[in-house]
Chain A
Amino acid sequence: MFTQSKRVKLLIIYYGALLLWLSTTAMHIPDGYLSPATCIIMFLIALPFWIIGIRKIREKLNARSVPLIALLSAFSFVIMMFNFPIPGGTTAHAIGATIAAIILGPEPATIVVSIALLIQALFFGDGGITAYGANCFNMAITVPYIAYAIYSAFSKNQALTSNRRLIGAFVGGWTGVTVAAFFAGVEFGIQPLLFKAADGTPLYAPYPLSVTIPAMIIPHALIASVAEGILAALVVAYLQRSNISVLEAAEKPAVLAEASGWQKLRALWIVLVVLIIASPLGLLAPGTAFGEWGADELASRGLGYIPAGLQKLSGLWGAPFADYNLPALGNANLGYVFSAVMGIVIIAIVAWLFTTLLTAGSGSKKSNR
């Protein structure tokens, strides 16, 4: 139908148009872009974070928390209405999740932003109801946790008035929103892969990963993330001058928790990242690992026949990322790395869920976080 170069040219024009329009939005996903299955999965992923958030609010802040959370949700909502000017003449609007995370810590910040998002979804149609789980995962969970981790890393032993906090706030906000944009791109991009009508018509969002991921990351990294980062840094600067006790609220517990947790695990994280990047090397090795042959390979290996039970069950599960490849990405190596990252994320979430359920109520809380 189209030559390869025509497609590329069309996609470039399309990216350009998208850039213009996406530049004034944060990434609220409306109903209809995500399939019911995706929506349900995102709700399930968001659920533990909501539970932790409420539990943390109850234990840390108890009765006092209700007005505080309500006021901060209202504040986050109002922030999402401000148009923040960016060099270049455009405006973007920030989410406010970074500021909430810096002041309250990531768990309560999740609840704060989730509530603001709920009101936006119900009252202004900004974000769908079935897509609420996905929106919360992107904006209320990803941004606060990442931004807070980066901000704490930058401000670990710094005075409350130090400039490194400003840099930490900016980098934290920028990274948080960009990663959130990546997740949103993934959520869009897997739709045509998994949810098609009989004749191949994509039923929900129509663009594959190779289009949605750059289309989400580029405008956000260039514009919306910058807005969030600058706003976070400027508000921290303003608070340093006018109301410094606010910055202290989440400060002390954080230092204690960081010191005990991160140092030991840092080596492991570095090894993990190196392994992920090096994983395409696995594609170079010929042949299949011992015991992992498919039904047809088995016959040719000298067995001479395919056991009946094996044959019946071998087609049972149609894996979404068969052979660790993602054809839409167009590059086997990239598909491999992507599968590695996804695999690790899924395993990490499941493992963490398990440990949380098992250790719930054990009463062993670190410091006063």
Chain B
Amino acid sequence: METTAPVRPSRRRNVLEHSLHGITETLEHALFAEEISARAGLFQSLDARVKVISTLALLISVSFSRSLWVIASIYLLTLLFAWTSAIPADYLIKRVWLALPFFTGLIVVPALFITPGPALFHLPLGLVITVTGVNTVLFLLLRVSTSVSLTLLLILTTPWNTVLSALSVLRLPDVLILILGMTYRYIYLLLHTANDMFLSRKSRMVGRLSTSENQRVLAAISGTLLSKSLNLSSEVYLAMQSRGFRGSSITLKPFKMKPKDWLWLFIFLAIAALAIFLGR
């Protein structure tokens, strides 16, 4: 289920165009991400470890909370922090709320009617909206939107390599850090390659393909992509080996906690603790 603005809009379109569109949007999003983390804002100036730990703490507090007001307050705080971090005011809201009603919202609408409890509204056709139903829907929607916004806030304001360094400080195994860093880089290489393959296929095409032809084209592109990945990995490995790689790596961790970082770490953890306490 998608909780950010859809990368795959479900319109009646040629499958190749569909995938092409999706891939291009991904590229745009990635560029955007790097751009925001270069701006001057509150979150951009904080130590990455503080951000990772605070995001986790707040996510956990949202998950534990049994009070709608607490979750709603954390959501508003997230928007406030986003605003002070040079993220355009409507960006977070649009990314979440343009997609949320169509996935989570639609799935959870029947709960309005079938959750047993005191009635709130009476609709025609004998349908009754219950208080408990409304509560359930609000809980789910608020939890999902807050969690997604928190994660987006972290990712938009921190370059990916910095996030990885912070994770390695938090004792994630080094081999995973290495793999995650390389995966990020190669996703964009493979996306470009796939984009080119789709474009070249589409530019040789007049009219539409049948379903089975479409499937075969996609499978061929996937297969080629797989072969390229495997070949590329051999070449990359040889290149790394010839530069001294022997299986393990050292991650640079140029982190120094400034008094400002300690202050904000304390503030975020206090908010999370308060949220868990108030919403228990």
Contacts and interface: CB of A to CB of B under 8 A. Distances in A.
Contact of A129 (B59, B194, B247): B59
Interface residues of A, number: 88
A32 B227 contact: no
A255 interface: no
Contact of A119 (B108, B178, B180): B180
Contacts of A6: 126
A83 B8 contact: yes
Interface stretch (A68-76, A268-276, A282-290, A355-363): A68-76
B114 A31 contact: no
A70 B155 CA distance: 20
B113 interface: yes
Interface stretch (B43-51, B76-84, B138-146, B264-272): B138-146
B86 interface: no
Interface in A1-49: 1-2, 6-7, 10-11, 13-14, 17-18, 21-22, 24-25, 27-33, 35-36, 39
B128 A25 contact: no
Interface in B205-253: 211, 214-216, 218-223, 225-227, 229-230, 232-234, 236-237, 240-241, 245-247
B99 to A, nearest CB: 8
B215 A230 contact: yes
How many chain B residues sit at the interface, stated as a range, is 35 or more
Interface of B: 1-4, 7-8, 10, 15, 18-19, 22-23, 26, 29-30, 33, 56, 59-60, 62-64, 66, 95-96, 102-104, 106-108, 110-111, 113-117, 119, 126, 128, 130, 132-133, 135-137, 139-140, 142-144, 146-148, 151-152, 154-155, 163, 173, 175-176, 178-180, 182-184, 186-187, 189-191, 194, 211, 214-216, 218-223, 225-227, 229-230, 232-234, 236-237, 240-241, 245-247
Interface of A: 1-2, 6-7, 10-11, 13-14, 17-18, 21-22, 24-25, 27-33, 35-36, 39, 54, 57-58, 62-64, 66-75, 77-79, 81-87, 91, 93, 99, 103, 111, 115-116, 118-119, 121-126, 128-130, 197, 199-207, 230-231, 234-235, 237-239, 242-243, 246
